[in-house]
Structure 1
Amino acid sequence: MTKPPKSKPLLRDAEAPIRSRPRKKRNPSQPALPFDPMPDRTEPALAVLKQRPPARGFCWEIKWDGYRVHVHIEPGRVRVLTRGGHDWSHRFPAIVKAATDLGPATIILDGEAVMFDEAGRSDFGLLQASLGASGKAPGKLVSPAVMMAFDLIYFDGHDLRGVEYSSRRHLLEDLLEGKEGAIRLSEIIDADPVTILDHACELGLEGIVGKQVDSVYRSGRTGDWIKCKCVQSEAFLVVGYEPSTGTSGGFASLLLAAYYGDALKYVGSVGTGFKQTKTSDLRAMMDKLAWTRKRPPVEYNGARKVVWVLPTLIAEIEYRAWTSDGKLRHPAFKGLREVQDNAAVYRVDE
């Protein structure tokens, strides 16, 4: 009969105390190694415009009127990135300070940088003025804007883009609950979306945004996020101006264009919404962009005297509807958007 093999003792010295293997000290320069690589930049999820909100499947909040930003928080570094991927940390110091206080966890917040008027409404014009939209010091002025955070893309070593929205929202609320500084939670409104939209319009707000409860975070306009506006507001290219007959150094209206395939199409003019003190600055900016070619940048059959300019400046325009011949109805100027913001210029269907 074969003898069983002798078992080896667990310890050479049965009387010796049990000790674990010595561990190396943690490198203080790496306080939290991520489980998932932290993305250097993420293209934002964008909302699709709808005339009326669907009844089910979405969470609803206020649509903020400002600059879309992603705030990246890492050990020793905070970045405030625009839609175009430009770092505007130096322009939003209050947001950077609030983001630093949220650390040391690695975080990417999605939200809107805004400023509020006396009635508590987000005001794009105030934000533009604080950032030097007149052109006197582009890219240099700082803004006291706050961030209304509405999504959490990355948290404490975990990439949350593959996690459903309801779970991301739960984590975001835990992170920002009770925060009243320069980074605040964009609140979910638990009510019928049609009623929410009606009240938003009565209060003079821009509209509401809905997010599909079980959707993951997908960049671009996928339909996971939708928006319903009280008034339409889009970005258009400034292609010329009508000189003012009353005052020198100003203008009577701006001529606007949208993309139409690979070309530009004239969509009308805007003559309201300008602050008296800013018209001369805007006129000076346009005069530096004088159009030197014989044919204007768009087809134009009007009889007005027009000074054409290079289609470089992007204007945010509020309007009520479109006319039957493809022009903006009751447009009003809200402000200039900066190239670094990567605002999507309106595209007319072919």
Structure 2
Amino acid sequence: MCARRVLRAGPGVDTMKGPVTRRRKPERDLFSDPMPERIEPCLALLKVRAPVGQEWAFEVKWDGYRLAVHIVGKRVRIITRGGHDWTPRFPTIGHDALSLGVDSAILDGEAVVLDKRGASDFGALQKALGGRGGKRFASEAIFYAFDLLYLNGHDLRPMPLSERRGMLEDLLLAEPHGSIRLSEEIDADGAPFLKLACEMKLEGIIAKRRDAPYRSGRGGDWLKIKCSQSESFVIVGYEPSTIALGGIGRLLLAARQGDHLVYVGGVGTGFTFESGAALRKAMDKLIIPRPALDMTGRKRSYRWLTPALVAEIQFRGWTDDGKLRHASYKGLREEADEATVYEMPTG
């Protein structure tokens, strides 16, 4: 199947044109359901290849912060994946959510900042938020909604994705809502869509079972297929530098293996002067006299850290001895985002 639809990632992204298929809003005779205070998100399972079959729907993989937007009357709450209230940090999204004209709703999606090509840029979002624990606001952030979990007194999670998506389209496509946009389903087979996404230097794609209800956790109803590997690692130390951006020559990274941390190599690229300086300031508050894991033979010039900072690292693969290849720093994950530290296989 040829790709026939627009990737609505923003200005400059113009691929896969074709009509948007509108679905009729299903009529439901339901009693009013209590609105959940919080819903644990459905998480995508990492796969190497895109699945095949008409039962799968495909979307762009956004590179930002997973959020749930709760609307009740004139009140909006924006909740992170970890359950933290970030409403004040996304004022524009909160404001625009009230224009949806619903009595109550829960939208599941991703907050992103777009680059000049119209692709999501995690580093730009971090900058807009002022970095880890920053007090600035992401007024330029866009919320790409990809699921509707609750609407006007009804819990939609038991419904199949195809019906929830139809109701979400009806809600968002009738008129523009500023910073709240639909993360559109792409009318394409998975393999060519992934190839195109990678050629456009996007993060990758997401595949979702059309007939699946919304189930919290990483159960396999949603899959993620990435163009390049990007995972979260703990920073366990760094090498100071008098010439590198931000004073950081190299970060030392660790992954989890069972109940302990293992060293997986370092990263010395991807910093700007601003991001490097902010990271150096955060790390210098965590210096400890000895490494938190076995680092025998490492330089004495390294400064060791309490393993509290989690960095998102892009890399091309692994060496034979379990170290990252061609790694690049993308930014720190927020505690509220509950980023999962990469788990190394045992044995």
TM-score (norm 2): 0.87
| Structure 2 Cα separation of the partners of residues 59 and 199 of structure 1 | 16
Q: CA deviation at 1:140?
A: 1.9
Summarize deviations over 1:120-162 as a string: whole Å, max 9, x none: 01000000000011x5xx3421102110000011111111111
| Structure 2 Cα separation of the partners of residues 333 and 63 of structure 1 | 19
Summarize deviations over 1:187-220 as a string: whole Å, max 9, x none: 1110121111000000010000010011010111
SS of residue matched to 1:278:
helix
| Structure 1 Cα separation of the partners of residues 235 and 245 of structure 2 | 20
What stretches of structure 2 of length at least 5 have no aligned partner? 1-29
Query: What is the aligned-residue identity percentage?
Result: 55
| Structure 2 Cα separation of the partners of residues 248 and 75 of structure 1 | 48
**CA spacing shift, 1:34–1:235, aligned 2, 3 Å:** farther
Contact 1:176 1:184 in 2 (8 A): yes
Summarize deviations over 1:8-32 as a string: whole Å, max 9, x none: xxxxxxxxxxxxxxxxxxxxxxxxx
Write the mapping of 1:261-280 to structure 2, written as runs, cut at 5 A: 261-280=258-277
Write the mapping of 1:185-200 to structure 2, written as runs, cut at 5 A: 185-200=182-197
Write the mapping of 1:328-343 to structure 2, written as runs, cut at 5 A: 328-343=324-339
SS of residue matched to 2:83:
coil
| Structure 2 Cα separation of the partners of residues 286 and 46 of structure 1 | 30
Aligned length: 313
| Structure 2 Cα separation of the partners of residues 278 and 53 of structure 1 | 34
Q: Corresponding residue for 2:209? A: 212
Write the mapping of 1:1-350 to structure 2, written as runs, cut at 5 A: 35-56=32-53, 57-133=55-131, 138-144=133-139, 145-177=141-173, 178-179=175-176, 181-244=178-241, 246=243, 250-292=247-289, 294=290, 296-304=291-299, 305-350=301-346
CA RMSD of aligned residues (A): 1.6
Moved more, 121-130 or 305-314: 305-314
Summarize deviations over 1:244-272 as a string: whole Å, max 9, x none: 15369612110011111111111110111
| Structure 2 Cα separation of the partners of residues 100 and 81 of structure 1 | 16
Q: Which amino acid aligns with 2:308?
A: T
Contact 2:252 2:265 in 1 (8 A): yes
| Structure 2 Cα separation of the partners of residues 258 and 95 of structure 1 | 34
What stretches of structure 1 of length at least 5 have no aligned partner? 1-32
| Structure 1 Cα separation of the partners of residues 337 and 42 of structure 2 | 15
SS of residue matched to 2:103:
coil
**CA spacing shift, 1:151–1:248, aligned 2, 3 Å:** closer
Q: CA deviation at 1:345?
A: 1.2
Contact 2:58 2:208 in 1 (8 A): yes
| Structure 2 Cα separation of the partners of residues 174 and 246 of structure 1 | 54
Contact 2:317 2:325 in 1 (8 A): yes
Contact 1:235 1:317 in 2 (8 A): yes
Greater radius of gyration (CA): 1
Q: CA deviation at 1:83?
A: 0.6
**CA spacing shift, 1:247–1:253, aligned 2, 3 Å:** closer
| Structure 2 Cα separation of the partners of residues 128 and 313 of structure 1 | 14
Moved more, 326-335 or 243-252: 243-252
**CA spacing shift, 1:248–1:106, aligned 2, 3 Å:** closer
SS of residue matched to 2:288:
coil
| Structure 1 Cα separation of the partners of residues 245 and 156 of structure 2 | 55
Moved more, 95-104 or 41-50: 95-104
**CA spacing shift, 1:92–1:248, aligned 2, 3 Å:** closer
Moved more, 244-253 or 318-327: 244-253
| Over 2 Å off, 4+ runs | 245-249, 301-305
**CA spacing shift, 1:253–1:98, aligned 2, 3 Å:** same
Summarize deviations over 1:71-118 as a string: whole Å, max 9, x none: 000013100000111111100011001111113321000000000001
Q: Which amino acid aligns with 1:43?
A: E
Q: Corresponding residue for 2:18? A: none
| Structure 1 Cα separation of the partners of residues 58 and 246 of structure 2 | 45
**CA spacing shift, 1:247–1:196, aligned 2, 3 Å:** closer
